[in-house]
């Protein structure tokens, strides 16, 4: 993703994080409690938010170090949120364990996104 796409994606993920968090804490709380998945839903929202903020920061860093590596980092983090938090949202609401099987894929994508971010920062700092 380029800088604008990364910033917009980070902001949209932040907006959706607030919406999902509020919806889960209020409208879905009885269902999530009944299914025993309130903590799982909260974990999904928490990681969702962390990575929304990370995308905003990466978008800002692109202005200084607009590297290809940061673009990869933003893509990996976005898809990490999609698979990690997305699968946990579905798992929380349905209790279908097949959704939980997708969660580690998102986790690996998030780790790869952070690793490419570190590589971009090291590479960018070496130029200065």
Query: pLDDT by residue (tens digit) across 50-67?
Result: 999 999 999 999 988 878
Residue 103 lies in a domain: yes
| Mean pLDDT for all residues in the chain | 94
**103 has a pLDDT exceeding 60:** yes
Residue 127 lies in a domain: no
Residue 73 lies in a domain: yes
Tens digits of residue pLDDT in 8-28: 999 999 999 999 999 999 999
Residue 83 lies in a domain: yes
CA gap 35, 17 in Å, rounded? 21
Predicted confidence at residue 18, as pLDDT, reads 96
Cβ-Cβ contacts under 8 Å for 15 (sequence gap 6 or more):
none
Placement of tokens 């920062």 in the chain: 121
Given a contact cutoff of 8 angstroms between Cβ atoms, the answer to whether 45 and 17 are in contact is yes
CA gap 55, 13 in Å, rounded? 9
Please count the structural domains in the chain: 1
Predicted confidence at residue 127, as pLDDT, reads 64
Residue 110 lies in a domain: yes
Residue 81 lies in a domain: yes
CA gap 121, 123 in Å, rounded? 5
Predicted confidence at residue 115, as pLDDT, reads 97
Domain that holds residue 16: 3-122
Residue 43 lies in a domain: yes
**128 has a pLDDT exceeding 80:** no
- Structure tokens given for 41: 């839903």
Tens digits of residue pLDDT in 82-100: 999 999 999 999 999 999 9
Residue 128 lies in a domain: no
């Amino acid at each position: 993703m380029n800088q604008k796409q990364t910033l917009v994606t980070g902001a949209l993920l932040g907006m959706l994080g607030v919406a999902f968090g509020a919806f889960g804490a209020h409208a879905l709380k009885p269902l999530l409690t009944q299914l025993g998945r309130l903590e799982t839903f909260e974990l999904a929202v928490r990681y969702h938010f962390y990575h929304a903020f990370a995308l905003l920061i990466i978008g800002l860093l692109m202005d200084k170090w607009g590297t290809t590596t940061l673009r990869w980092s933003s893509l990996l983090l976005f898809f990490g949120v999609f698979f990690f938090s997305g699968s946990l949202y579905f798992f929380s609401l349905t209790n279908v364990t097949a959704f939980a099987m997708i969660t580690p894929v998102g986790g690996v994508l998030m780790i790869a996104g952070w690793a490419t971010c570190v590589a971009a920062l090291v590479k960018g700092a070496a130029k200065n």
